[in-house]
Structure 1
Amino acid sequence: MQRKKREALEAIQLKHWVQAVQSGKIPTEKDSVTNEIVPLPLPLARSDGEGLTFTLSKSGTATWVLRYRYGGRSKELTIGNYPDISLSDARKYAREKRAGIDIGSNPALDKRKSKASALKDWSVAELIEDYREKILPGLSTSTQRSYSRNLIRIESKIGPFPVSKVESVDIVVMLEGVDATWTESLMLLCTVKMLFRHAAGKKLISVNPCFGIELSATMGPRPPVRRRLMLNEAELKCLFSANMRPENLLAVKILLGTAVRSAELFGAKWDQIDTDKGVWTVPTTKTGTGMQIPLSIAVLDWFKDLKLLSGGSSFVLPARAESRKERFGGDACINPNTIGSAIEFWFVEYSPEVRRFTPHDLRSTAKSHLRRLGVPRDITEMCLNHKLSGVEGIYDIHTYFEERKAALAKWGDYLKQIESALV
């Protein structure tokens, strides 16, 4: 009868090794011949016999590995971590797997297939979590906001569905069941397309269920796109004398004078405004990287007036509602809807002789007047932080700071004349 091979490891020995490494010491053992205590090198790998191996990293992570041969080649199966899996449990698990190997099984391959099978059983909610972790952070700030909003909608509608079972009809039902505008529904469709494109990239599905879906078929033709308007000189004069809170009117003037996007002003901090050099540094923009905005004399004056009204806040336009301040830890920027609401309130209460406009129309107003003042098209586009198109946009990395400075100075002088005429 063949004598059973003696198992090499002892539970108390493993415990001491792990504790030594985790406390910053060197693991040791007694030499069986000399009885001397000898240090052990890290990383450590010790066999318990018949392929079961205990490994210990320099950081103190201990793992069980089963080493075996399959098809004439060496293979490894990671069993799990110690002490989550004890020595006796690791031996039991290894015996079971060795029995399978003896009849032709490959446990490492079986484990990979099991993981792949579990992956195919992902729910849409799990896919969304993976998308948020791996894809969403690499998108632009504005796209992140839009996609995040729609990922919540998707999760609420089809989150429990298995990814592999979602069909085109499920997407259509979701689109028809969301109470949103045509444009917002289009963004929802774009978001769910990108989400299932991610699923296809992970090989959870072979065909994107959004393929072939047209929003016009579910919601009808797209409504006419509202055209941006340019406020004329008479309308600008009326606007500059608007009955608004001083902070709101100054914000409107700065949006006009700089042609920035509203979000860039709402999130601006005073440490980004260099009044001595006449430069506003915007750290991030919708188009990606930040930029420096030259400030005209008129805009500098408006910023200085705002500083007196900011109440010591780090934000150029600080929050006014105490609830918002508390929610953001005491100091926060203005609600993004505040200026738009102030403009709408002015229209409702005072019925000015001005065409109804939104904060974004202030950019189109600046663009049109810059062209009217003789500023070249490409400089105008750079003032609005628009990317140049085609090959020119790929290779031209010039910031046009001096050209933008001259253009915005000319525009600022024009706005200052309008303001001065009202005094």
Structure 2
Amino acid sequence: MGKLTDVQLKQWVKAGEHVAKSDGNGLTFTLSASGVAAWVLRYRFGGKAKEKTIGRYPDISLADARKIAAEDRAKIQTGTDVAMEKKKAKLITAGAWTVKQLAEDYLEKSSGRIAETTIKGRRQQLRDYVFPLIGNMPAREVEPLALVDIVERVTVKSRHVARLVLIALREVFAHGIARHVIASDPSAHIKSNSVIGPRPTSRSRIMLNEQELRAIFPLLPEMGVQNALMFKILVSTGVRIGELINAKWVNVDFEKQLWTIPAEDIKGRKVKASKGEDVKDFVIPLTPQVIASFLELESLAFGSAYVLPIRARKKAEGDVPMEPSTFNAAINTFCKKIMQEKCRRFTPHDLRSTARSHLGALGVDFLVAERCINHSLGGLVAVYDQHDYIDARRKAHTSLSNYFEACEAGRPSHVSSVQLAAA
């Protein structure tokens, strides 16, 4: 031993190049291509080559690494496989994990395997509904009745969210079984229909008519500034709520009056890709009215990279976008307390349907209207018609924004359907 020096270690770390240097007697300093420095003890046990990761440098200094390596070699000489010993100790520690520790390990291991939006949703569901009740409970001690209680509590608020919470619980405890952290899965025999009830019948999509829009627009301030601006952007652009929630300022070009939605943020991209469709970034032409809404949101973003940063800062871990449920709750309150009988209750996705419906009513060509809301043209049209109608879509969005502006101001609409159809 004693081949390495502290000066060498610091130089290698600073250079950031992949290295594996022996200090002697099996103790090796390694530096990965990603910059992680660690100590590894390499030895033979039962005639086979083995290695044990001692720990990271500089958390474990050169002197400490030599001391630990010497102790491990003494154990090896007395018949102890130190790598297996460490692995067993790790399993014992994992067996004492709380529900929160198990869930965090599940979320970490799921990165890259499932969509980031799905991970984000499950993290939120676990944080809001599971951790407050059983987060600190040892995962091995969780009983099915505790999970039933959680799901029933959420059902009172939302059946849909309750189903998502149950799915998250099943995934976490299935991960615990696979990791041998728990011996049995407490969620295995919980049936959603028994706890939550049968799924409700699918509701028909709502297209808000002109009378409803003329009633809604003047009262939007009652919803709150950000919610009102979200309403205007959604109904004017026809984007999905998730696409607006995940929007970043880097993709909003005020000078060119364009908003780009990256392919990875477009719903159904994996399904489209599996059908051989080329999922590309979607560029939306912005009207003066929509730009004004974005500029007002920018003043409320407090330097966030996101157009709509999370509002409850105490729940946030870094710079993250707001949660879709926030806008859903605002709409529910608005319809129930403010609008009452003046309009039908609607959802964020109904604003997308409303945009498409009024584009048609304004005389916009079918293909142009479909591309305005990023609908796949499908079939031979998608194959042979690669034109994205950006100029025609800008005219269509302008007429739609002008129409909504007239509804908000209480003015008659003066949209030229002949001009729009010619586009």
Q: State the TM-score bracket (shorter-chain normalisation).
A: 0.5 to 0.7
Would you say 1:199 and 2:176 are equivalent positions?
A: yes
Aligned length: 370
Determine which structure has the larger helix proportion and give its number.
2
How far apart are residue 43 of structure 1 and its match?
A: 1.8
Q: What's the counterpart of residue 37 of structure 1?
A: none
CA distance 1:106–1:188, change in 2 (3 Å): same
CA distance 1:278–1:169, change in 2 (3 Å): same
**Quick one: which of 125, 146, 156 aligns to 2:121?**
146
Contact 2:335 2:345 in 1 (8 A): no
Q: What's the counterpart of residue 240 of structure 2?
A: 261
SS at match of 1:84: helix
- Please give the residue correspondences for 1:407-422 in structure 2 after superposition, counting only pairs within 5 Å: 409-410=395-396, 412-413=398-399, 416-417=402-403, 419=406, 421=412
CA distance 1:144–1:290, change in 2 (3 Å): farther
Q: What's the counterpart of residue 22 of structure 2?
A: 44
**Quick one: which of 210, 214, 217 aligns to 2:194?**
217
How far apart are residue 21 of structure 1 and its match?
A: 1.4
Would you say 1:363 and 2:340 are equivalent positions?
A: no
Contact 2:207 2:357 in 1 (8 A): yes
CA distance 1:208–1:386, change in 2 (3 Å): farther
SS at match of 1:230: coil
Q: d(CA) in 2 for partners of 1:68 and 1:138?
A: 35
Would you say 1:157 and 2:133 are equivalent positions?
A: yes
- Please give the residue correspondences for 1:286-325 in structure 2 after superposition, counting only pairs within 5 Å: 287=267, 291-295=281-285, 300-306=287-293
Q: What's the counterpart of residue 55 of structure 1?
A: 28
Q: What's the counterpart of residue 133 of structure 1?
A: 108
Q: What's the counterpart of residue 260 of structure 2?
A: 281
CA distance 1:406–1:213, change in 2 (3 Å): farther
Q: What's the counterpart of residue 189 of structure 1?
A: 166
User: Deviation string for 1:339-396 (max 9, x for gaps)?
Assistant: 97489558745767433434432112123344665755x876654446789xx7xxx7
CA distance 1:307–1:188, change in 2 (3 Å): closer
Contact 2:122 2:168 in 1 (8 A): yes
User: Deviation string for 1:200-259 (max 9, x for gaps)?
Assistant: 443545765433422221233344554431112333344455574897766544322210
Q: d(CA) in 2 for partners of 1:275 and 1:68?
A: 64
- Please give the residue correspondences for 1:371-410 in structure 2 after superposition, counting only pairs within 5 Å: 373=363, 376=366, 383-385=372-374, 402-403=388-389, 406=392, 409-410=395-396
How far apart are residue 149 of structure 1 and its match?
A: 1.7
CA distance 1:202–1:303, change in 2 (3 Å): same
How far apart are residue 319 of structure 1 and its match?
A: 9.8
Percent of aligned positions with the same letter in both sequences? 24
User: Deviation string for 1:25-77 (max 9, x for gaps)?
Assistant: 9xxxxxxxxxxxxxxx9723423xxxxx443457996847363452xx24335
Q: d(CA) in 1 for partners of 2:210 and 2:356?
A: 14
How far apart are residue 192 of structure 1 and its match?
A: 1.1
Q: CA RMSD in A?
A: 5.0
SS at match of 1:421: coil
**What 5-or-longer segments of structure 1 have no aligned partner?**
1-8, 26-40, 48-52
How far apart are residue 315 of structure 1 and its match?
A: 8.3
How far apart are residue 96 of structure 1 and its match?
A: 3.9
Which of the two has higher C-alpha Rg? Answer: 1
TM-score under structure 2 length normalisation: 0.65
- Please give the residue correspondences for 1:76-91 in structure 2 after superposition, counting only pairs within 5 Å: 76-78=50-52, 80=54, 82-84=62-64, 86-87=66-67, 90-91=69-70
User: Deviation string for 1:300-337 (max 9, x for gaps)?
Assistant: 121354477568667899999xx989999xx9999975
SS at match of 1:150: helix
CA distance 1:350–1:180, change in 2 (3 Å): closer
Q: What's the counterpart of residue 36 of structure 1?
A: none
CA distance 1:115–1:259, change in 2 (3 Å): same
Q: d(CA) in 1 for partners of 2:198 and 2:314?
A: 44
Q: d(CA) in 2 for partners of 1:76 and 1:327?
A: 44
Q: What's the counterpart of residue 75 of structure 1?
A: 49
SS at match of 2:52: strand
Q: d(CA) in 2 for partners of 1:109 and 1:151?
A: 33
**What 5-or-longer segments of structure 2 have no aligned partner?**
13-18, 55-59, 270-278, 415-423
Q: d(CA) in 2 for partners of 1:62 and 1:346?
A: 58
How far apart are residue 119 of structure 1 and its match?
A: 3.9
How far apart are residue 186 of structure 1 and its match?
A: 0.6
User: Deviation string for 1:128-187 (max 9, x for gaps)?
Assistant: 121232215654454334211222233333334444554544432432355642111111
TM-score under structure 1 length normalisation: 0.65
How far apart are residue 338 of structure 1 and its match?
A: 6.8
